[in-house]
Structure 1
Amino acid sequence: MPLPPADLPPWNGDRDTLLHAAKGVRPPPAIPQPSAASLLQKPYFLAADYALRSTGLHSDAPTAPFSAYWQPAGGQGLTEPARLLRKGEEFRHFGVLNAAGTVRYGPVTWEHCLTIRHNHGAVEPRAARGLLREVARPEPLLSCACGQACPVSGVWQPWVAADHPLQAIVNQSWRQAWLTQGAPFPQPRRDWLLALPDDDVTWHLMEASIADPANA
């Protein structure tokens, strides 16, 4: 819902309508797309709605120091996928080609991988239970750059890439804005006081206003 002095959308007098309008919105969860790891068997299997991210933590120990996904660190000539190991489980040995051109069979350095939620780039802000209301995804999906004028009145969500250093404070439901058709989108530097280029942010329509003539 916009704040004064912005124009407020029409209200039908129902209390619940007012409460719902004050909440952020989110679409239904996207259906996970199969990933390469989700098609593998244990211990390589990883559910499709998760991905692996390297933490940079290496281990030369003979066994896993704690339960997690581990894979041979880069630069050793190995392409082994990450596997789930329990604490104390032995790391595999591999045959590795050394500088002399001969194969050495033995232990290698392992790298820890963190499991993170992965929704394949879907715009799905998250919040504590009860703070968001679920709405159908707009059809067609509509996205705009910061410099564009708002084409459709409704609730818009700013979004940056998942690996952007500011994603944790931009990809939030409380960044949503109710905008009227023709209004400018908020600008990160001017309106949020963030050192964030406009080109890094994309605005996505989350819920169109029924009263908007463009949706009639």
Structure 2
Amino acid sequence: MDTAVTSTPKPVALITGASRGLGAAIARELAPTHDLLLGARSADSLRPILDELPGATGWPVELTDYRAVAAASASIARLDVLVHNAGIADLGTIAESSVDQWRNTLEANLIAVAELTRVLLPALRAADGHVVLINSGAGLRAHAGWASYAASKFGLRAFGDALRLEEQSLRVTSIHPGRIDTDMQREIRAHEGRDYRAEDFLTASTVAAAVRNAVDTPRDAHPTEIVLRPF
């Protein structure tokens, strides 16, 4: 007698800011074992990573457009992994800062994260899912010239702590990497007027591997915080 073989569906992972840099590296890490939804501001920006990972699905949405976020999330009934990687780094001293800089940084790095998580809570609960917050060393210690960015990342850490307590069926991991060799890092070094040496920084693939390790941690453990520094 023939026995029907049924395959178990892959877990689903949504990665924001997945078009390049760290987000694309995380997508590469999770692609063998997950069905991927790859987020970015535009469909055009996702084309290179979707060409590289043809099994993935693009999820283009502006994360600070909350009506668009709700509409794009409506069809997600189950979500095993949510990686919040998208963010901005608008640097400058407090004296040089503006209300718009503070508002834009907090909006992109904290408020949009909180709202996307809130909208996706039913899907995360259905899977006993895992929320991974890509934070920063600046979320543990502020530095001169980084006030608005650090404030957003300190807030992101607090958000993760609260989410972990409130949604006890979910795992919530805050990852705090030091500086990573990415296009954003090149822009930061240029802003600081300093030379760029890739070997001084973490690689995106190393940080992506830490995300993968957190996701793969057996269910009897809860990886709450991971701190990485360049060696």
Scaled by the length of structure 1, what TM-score is found?
0.20
Query: Which has the higher relative contact order, 1 or 2, with Cα contacts under 8 A spaced 6 or more apart?
Result: 1
Flag the structure with larger Rg: 1
TM-score normalised according to structure 2 size: 0.19
Which structure's residues are more often strand, by fraction? 1
Greater share of residues in helix: 2
